[in-house]
Amino acid sequence: MTGFGRAEGPVNEKKVTVEVRSLNSKQLDLLVRVPGAFREKEAELRQWAVERIVRGKAELHVSAEALRTTKRTAFNADLVRAYHEELRALAQEIAPEAHTDLLGHVLRMPDVMNTAREELDPAEWTAVMALVTEALRAFNGFREAEGVKLREELAARTRNITALLGEVEGLDKGRAERTRERILARLQELKADVDQDRLEQELVFYLEKLDITEEKVRLKAHCAYFLETLDNEDQQGRKLGFISQEMGREINTLGSKCNDAAMQKHVVLMKDELEKIKEQVLNVL
């Protein structure tokens, strides 16, 4: 499911911003980005997020911006002097007339500048996690609002299929008898000489193949079960996907057995509603 949540606040002289966002995906594809100061907590944060985001192409981004300028580098003065003296002695010996920026060369020498490593304060990380939790709360709120709309759409389209099925049931009344009369009328037009007993036997077999009673009962049950599953609190996305597949099988069988143009039209409309249901079910956790 799509979602977005954001939180920011001051943490130990830093402005920390947390953003959580996701796009639709069948599985969880999580990208976690944290500043270097929090790198040691990245694996812990990833596991924490995996347990809560569950599904989607998601990104959890934590950024930190210093509220004031702080000095984090230091030069090794003794080493700079040693390098400079050595280079100056070499320059005087080899090329005393050359004008070379010895200090510039010295500053590019290894180990002359050290970057202080900032230790992560547990209290600071606790404050960062509070912001992450706040962002995730907003993220889940976004998802829940989308989920309400999604449930309404899925329920409406399922009810549309049930209504179309009711119309098919109405059209199915007397269809077997109409089909029988049409076949007999055609045989009379052809003036075909047939064995009446064999004809009746074949008609029974043929009309049994056109019977859609079982399909109507099963499709109605699948639609009811789909609506019931929508009301469950637990994650039901995969289950809804399975039910929609079963609904598709029954609708396809209805279409193959209906030899009536009006009924076929309703079957096409049911297939259209089902395709829209399948598209939206992919967004359900």
- Helix%, strand%, coil% for the chain, nearest 5: 65, 15, 20
Q: Which helix (H) or strand (E) holds 19?
A: strand 14-23
Q: 3-state class of 65 per DSSP?
A: strand
Q: What is the pLDDT along the chain (285 residues), one digit of tens a residue?
A: 688 999 999 988 889 999 999 988 778 889 999 988 888 889 999 999 999 888 888 999 999 887 665 555 667 788 778 888 887 888 787 877 777 777 777 777 777 776 655 667 788 889 999 999 999 999 999 988 888 898 999 999 999 999 999 888 887 776 666 666 676 666 666 666 666 667 667 666 665 677 778 888 999 999 999 999 988 877 778 889 899 999 999 999 888 887 778 888 999 999 999 999 998 888 776
Nearest to 259 by CA among 198, 197, 207, 189: 207
Nearest to 232 by CA among 244, 243, 240, 221: 240
How far apart, in whole angstroms, are the C-alpha atoms of residue 35 and residue 45? 12
Question: Is the whole-model pTM more than 0.75?
Answer: no
Domains of the chain: 3-69+120-141 (3.30.230), 73-115 (no CATH), 144-281 (no CATH)
